[in-house]
Amino acid sequence: MWWSFSVSLAPILAEAGKTKLTSMYKEYKNLNLPEIEEEVLRFWEAHRVFEQSVEQRSESDRFVFYEGPPSANGKPGIHHVMARTIKDLVCRFQTMKGKRVARKGGWDTHGLPVELSVEKELGITKEDIGKKISVAEYNQRCRETVMRYKAEWDELTRRMGYWVDLEHPYITYENDYIESVWWLLRQIYDKGLMYKGYTIQPYSPAAGTGLSSHELNMPGCYREVKDTTVVAMFKVRRDERSDWLFDDDSEDVRILAWTTTPWTLPSNTALTVGPDIQYVKVKTTNPYTGEPVSVILAQDLVDRWFGQKHSPEILSMSAPFPGSALEGIRYEQLLDFGNPIEPLDGATDAFRVITGDFVTTEDGTGIVHTAPSFGADDRKAAKQHGIGTLTLVDAQGKFKDTVGEFSGRYVKNYTDDPNYQDVDVDIAVRLKKEGKAFNVAKYVHNYPHCWRTDKPVLYYPLDSWFIKTSAVRDRMVELNKTIKWKPASTGEGRFGKWLENIQDWNLSRSRYWGIPLPIWRTEDGTEEKCIGSVAELREEIEKANAALGLDQQVPDDLHRPWIDEVVLVSSDGKPMRRETDLIDVWFDSGSMPAAQWHYPFENQEKFRQNFPADFIAEGVDQTRGWFYTLHAIATMVFDSVAYKSVVSNGLVLDKEGRKMSKRLGNAVDPFDTIARFGADATRWYMISASQPWDNLKFDLEALEENSRRFFGRLFNTYSFFALYANIDGFKYEQDEVPLERRTEIDRWIISLLNTLVQQVDADMADYEMTAATRRIQTFVDEHLSNWYVRLSRRRFWRGEMTEDKLAAYQTLYTCLVTVSKLMAPVAPFFADWLYRNLNGVTGREPHASVHLADFPAVDEAAIDRALEQRMDYAQRISSLVLSLRKRQKIRVRQPLQKVLLPVLDDSFRAQVEGVKDLILAEVNVKEIEYVTDTSGVIKKKAKPNFKTLGRRLGKHMKQAAQIIGNLSQEEINRIEREGRFELKIDDQTWELTLDDLDIVTEDIPGWLVATDGLITVALDVTITDELRAEGYARDLVNRIQNLRKSRDYNVTDRIAIRLERHPEVEKAVQQFGDYIRTETLADRLELVDHLPEGETIELADGISVRIEVERVAEKV
């Protein structure tokens, strides 16, 4: 390209802490973000920019951030780029605002996914652990596996520009970490918030293990199944309590209860009714035996079971009565196999109607068959009412051998027996035969399955340790209200409402690779110890060694199996063994505020400085995961929030809006994306495309487009600056041109820039990063590139270094440097590249990197709203004029005489006057003529101001709008003169002022006009001979410049021009010869009659002429 200098690219000279200047702004042919980023990365690493950015800030002014630990057991995906971009940009922003933001990394190392991948690799199941492979070996494999993809994670971290300290991360499997977790558990234990309970939990008989809610919620676990359902009839015993139900001695009264799990019917011990639900007794006949029978069910559900095609008929129906009336009524056991009632909290009563709030009339009969061993609600209700239980199914999922003909039969086909007979069906058949079935049907519903065995889960009573989170519910709710949630709805809704009916936290996991529950018990459970530190464990071990004559030591590794071997001793000398459960891994990560510092055993000061966090961020899926466990533990142990603000980002979906998954093959590879488009473009796209808490439809094409638009334009703007600044040797060495001596457009862009700084600062502080990026983008695209640079181009390449030219350089430089700082949190690479390219030449700031600089401060004095409005007028007026030219097909190079601009008030006129020159230059028109209404050519129209009038007029608004819209010219003129207007509707009168009306010009009769809101523009399209000649002159200049360019002449070369004579061209040369010569740097411009050697050029209106251009002297 002829005007560009070839510049040898100086190597990076900036050193840590100080800047060595380069002499030229670097120029580049094309924007290559990935290349820039690699270079910037090398720079950051070589000069430890991250470390410096943290260390240079005061210890006493911190912004605390917690890193949610990822598991390196799986590969990172594009959604991790999303979450980490948010974390990173907030931390970088706060750093630039002067805060010290330490970012300690962490690794989540325990849990099911790790265990499973090991089992898969070894080809074993959970049952094999301790048999085919020792627990020690198994855990060793887990420990090795857990960091499998650490290299990928580290590379992603590095390459995406996520600044986090990975040299000193916390790792959840380390003894120090475990010890802190134990300490936390001990605090909770000491507050009486831990208990062991025999509760109903999801259980997989096929796998022989309880399942966590996590496991139950793995994709595909809830499946549609078709089950046999039974409405069973429970025969009421007649006694004092139930007597009122019977009409006569022979009446057979039965209570109806529906179940989708008939195999639980032998274990029934109660029936639960809703105390406030209305029930009725219906006389009918048994559909299977034909015997007369009376059945009790909810009134609302009568229609469901009666009156249909094949359903029994209603012979008579009682008046409704509330469920509370049924309470205490006894019934005969449905299927009696002579098993004793097992005590539940000591109670062994059974076969009685009880009440429960959970009963609804949504389905079934409004009466719940209650088997306390197989349902959590059932168990709760039974306990409340002193009912015992029957557990007639064993842990393998088959009936015990005391259940008559059903003994030994699996309740579901857990063994893949090809001849499996559905026991539900057989139970139904027996009930039908015995006249105890009211209805038997197939029913399709969702039921959870064990994701590993594909078999239905069973709810089964299991021993577990719980944290009584329900006891601190109110405090958690209260503290949550002080947390700033982004978006707020997640905090109030998903999280808040969930807290309000929080369940106790089931801590137990019967697993191997995790933090062992530090509780030891005597065999009879009468004494237990919760260990809160290694020192305490050592003491207890020594005590036990002495008392029991053992030779134990604190294990080097606090995991199983070593910790299981430790035996402690009770106060009366009995051995105590550890409860074999591990704790829920979510407790691990929720412990990190303390455990990352090995608090309270070390770093007490550090912990105090870093608790609670100012900010955390993760995906919404962590709402009930990490966000919850942090909150719960902090509430229980420290009576504090764990974080003051939290951003929960949405999912990253594919461009069709589907969830990304390996299975669908629509997962986007983060490494690939970054390598192709750059980390900055990826980050910028993710943040600017949609609010982080909305789901993002990730589309590579959109990313590319966004990158081209924003980074491309910013790059072009920089390139433009660098090109001319190098020619002029501009290094910002001269004094600052005072603002008041700069031109309108300079002061305008600086005003906008300061407004931008103010807004972006506020947005970023409020975690509104999408708004911030969009504002920056608008500034760069629309204002800086498309208006400021475009209109200021001439100032940069024309003439010597005048004050105006200097002001232009300074202004553009300031804009670029400031933008680099504003964008630095989101696009750290390009921002630093831009900053260093600029500051590396001028040395105006002492920082080697933009990330060591301060976030820009607003110069409020530079903000000039009137000027911003003025320029907005200029843009709109220009746009209107251009659209008029367009309509008339008059090229912009053709000058026109004047623009007519109706002005309705003096301030508008004054405003336009201030930007008149810009408008005229932009639209190539000679003058603006202001038309006032005194000239009589303007047609005015009045519109109501709905905002001010609506409130006052209320329902008369419609009529008012019509009256105002129909006001005549004269009336409008009068209103403007008097400043008031009496509006009469019906009998009422309102006194309106000019504020209540918008008066606009819509038309100038006889002229070509265009309107945009309140601005109307008319264009004089008469082309005089002189204007035409000037148009051709401009065409000529343009064609000659093109020739210079295509011939690779230097910008400063002088030329000689010979033109073939042509009547129009001759006029142009005669009148505008000087202009042509000046513009094209021509020493001579001659007209000749024949120019056979010349090139042919096309001017407007189909004129073509021959021309000869040659260089007269070369200048370098």
Partner RNA sequence: AGUCCCGUAGCUCAGCUGGUUAGAGCGCUACACUGAUAAUGUAGAGGUCGGCGGUUCAAGUCCGCCCGGGACUACCA
Active site residues: 69, 108, 586, 622, 626, 659, 662
Question: Closer to RNA at the Cβ: 481 or 741?
Answer: 481
Contact track, RNA, 619-648, x by CB under 7 A: -xx-xxx-----------------------
- Strand spans (E) along 1007-1088: 1008-1012, 1015-1019, 1054-1060, 1082-1088
Interface with RNA (CB under 7 A), residue total 116
Q: Tell me the C-alpha to C-alpha distance, in Å, between residue 680 and each of 29, 684, 856.
A: 19, 6, 21
713 contributes a contact to RNA by CB under 7 A: yes
Least distance to RNA, CB of residue 513, Å:
21
Q: Whole-angstrom Cα distance, residue 624 to residue 496? A: 10
With contact defined as beta carbons under 8 Å apart, do 271 and 257 qualify? yes
Strands 652-653 and 696-697, by their bridges, are parallel
Contact with RNA (CB under 7 A) among 7, 136, 702, 963? 702
Question: Closer to RNA at the Cβ: 493 or 729?
Answer: 493
Question: Closer to RNA at the Cβ: 341 or 957?
Answer: 957
With contact defined as beta carbons under 8 Å apart, do 148 and 121 qualify? no
- Report the site for RNA in 189-218 (rule: CB under 7 A): 200, 202, 213-214, 216-217
Contact with RNA (CB under 7 A) among 720, 833, 981, 1032? 720
Q: Whole-angstrom Cα distance, residue 210 to residue 1094? A: 92
Contact with RNA (CB under 7 A) among 893, 909, 939, 1054? 893
With contact defined as beta carbons under 8 Å apart, do 822 and 760 qualify? yes
CA dihedral 275, 281, 286, 290 (to 10 degrees): 170
- Report the site for RNA in 1048-1107 (rule: CB under 7 A): 1051, 1079-1081
Least distance to RNA, CB of residue 478, Å:
18
Least distance to RNA, CB of residue 1006, Å:
22
Q: Tell me the C-alpha to C-alpha distance, in Å, between residue 196 and each of 504, 505, 508, 587, 957.
A: 11, 11, 9, 17, 69
Q: Whole-angstrom Cα distance, residue 783 to residue 772? A: 16
Q: Whole-angstrom Cα distance, residue 1102 to residue 42? A: 57
Q: Whole-angstrom Cα distance, residue 982 to residue 984? A: 6
Question: Over 597-620, what HEC string results?
Answer: CCCCCCCHHHHHHCCCECEEEEEH
Least Cα distance to 141 among 122, 123, 113 occurs for 122
Tell me the sheet residues that pair with 1104: 1098
Contact with RNA (CB under 7 A) among 384, 571, 883, 966? 883
Q: What are the structure tokens assigned to 201, written together?
A: 């939990």
43 contributes a contact to RNA by CB under 7 A: no
- Report the site for RNA in 498-537 (rule: CB under 7 A): 498, 503
Range in contact with RNA (rule: CB under 7 A) among 83-91, 390-398, 497-505, 565-573: 497-505
Q: Whole-angstrom Cα distance, residue 846 to residue 839? A: 9
Contact with RNA (CB under 7 A) among 547, 957, 1027, 1103? 957
* Burial zone of 695 (CB within 10 Å; 0-12 exposed, 13-18 middle, 19+ buried): middle
- Report the site for RNA in 85-144 (rule: CB under 7 A): none
770 contributes a contact to RNA by CB under 7 A: yes
Contact with RNA (CB under 7 A) among 324, 640, 785, 932? 785
Question: Closer to RNA at the Cβ: 433 or 958?
Answer: 958
Q: Whole-angstrom Cα distance, residue 363 to residue 166? A: 55
Contact track, RNA, 721-760, x by CB under 7 A: --x-------------------------------------
Contact with RNA (CB under 7 A) among 171, 317, 341, 651? 651
1115 contributes a contact to RNA by CB under 7 A: no
Contact with RNA (CB under 7 A) among 246, 321, 337, 447? 447
Q: What are the structure tokens assigned to 619, written together?
A: 């995906």
Contact with RNA (CB under 7 A) among 260, 339, 413, 973? 260
Contact with RNA (CB under 7 A) among 311, 786, 932, 969? 786
- Report the site for RNA in 1028-1057 (rule: CB under 7 A): 1034, 1038, 1041-1042, 1044-1045, 1051
**Residues contacting residue 970 through CB under 8 Å, at least 6 positions apart:** none
Least distance to RNA, CB of residue 950, Å:
2
Q: What are the structure tokens assigned to 972, written together?
A: 């409008």
Tell me the sheet residues that pair with 577: 521
**What are the backbone dihedrals phi and psi of residue 277, each rounded to the nearest 5 degrees, phi first?**
-80, 145
Q: Tell me the C-alpha to C-alpha distance, in Å, between residue 758 and each of 745, 801, 818.
A: 20, 32, 12
- Report the site for RNA in 222-251 (rule: CB under 7 A): 222
Q: Report the Cα 434 to chain-centroid distance in Å.
A: 59
Contact with RNA (CB under 7 A) among 39, 781, 804, 1086? 781
Contact with RNA (CB under 7 A) among 377, 539, 804, 971? 377
Tell me the sheet residues that pair with 467: 194, 505
Least distance to RNA, CB of residue 989, Å:
18
- Report the site for RNA in 463-492 (rule: CB under 7 A): 487, 489-490, 492
Contact track, RNA, 575-604, x by CB under 7 A: ------------------------------
Determine the length of the chain. Answer: 1116
930 contributes a contact to RNA by CB under 7 A: no
Any idea which residue has 């962590």 for tokens? 622
929 contributes a contact to RNA by CB under 7 A: no
Mutual angle of helices 135-145 and 112-122, in 10-degree steps: 110
355 contributes a contact to RNA by CB under 7 A: no
Least distance to RNA, CB of residue 192, Å:
23
Least distance to RNA, CB of residue 9, Å:
18
Contact with RNA (CB under 7 A) among 445, 926, 984, 1084? 445
Least distance to RNA, CB of residue 72, Å:
20
Least Cα distance to 163 among 12, 78, 33, 48 occurs for 48
Least Cα distance to 792 among 775, 776, 779, 810 occurs for 810
Least distance to RNA, CB of residue 836, Å:
21
Contact with RNA (CB under 7 A) among 510, 545, 640, 690? 690
Range in contact with RNA (rule: CB under 7 A) among 307-315, 906-914, 941-949, 1108-1116: 941-949
Contact with RNA (CB under 7 A) among 283, 468, 659, 1058? 659
Contact with RNA (CB under 7 A) among 543, 891, 926, 1047? 891
879 contributes a contact to RNA by CB under 7 A: yes
- Report the site for RNA in 298-337 (rule: CB under 7 A): none
Any idea which residue has 């409402």 for tokens? 497
Range in contact with RNA (rule: CB under 7 A) among 7-15, 352-360, 816-824, 988-996: 352-360
Ramachandran region, residue 644 (left: φ > 0; alpha: ψ -120 to 50; beta: rest)? alpha
Tell me the sheet residues that pair with 516: 582
Ramachandran region, residue 729 (left: φ > 0; alpha: ψ -120 to 50; beta: rest)? left
Q: Whole-angstrom Cα distance, residue 134 to residue 857? A: 63
Contact track, RNA, 793-812, x by CB under 7 A: x---x---------------
364 contributes a contact to RNA by CB under 7 A: yes
Least distance to RNA, CB of residue 565, Å:
33
| Ordered DSSP codes for 793-828 | HHHHHSSS--HHHHHHHHHHHHHHHHHHHHHTTTSH
955 contributes a contact to RNA by CB under 7 A: yes
Contact with RNA (CB under 7 A) among 43, 399, 693, 779? 693
Question: Closer to RNA at the Cβ: 65 or 748?
Answer: 748
Question: Closer to RNA at the Cβ: 218 or 937?
Answer: 218
Helices (H) then strands (E): counts for the chain: 36, 39
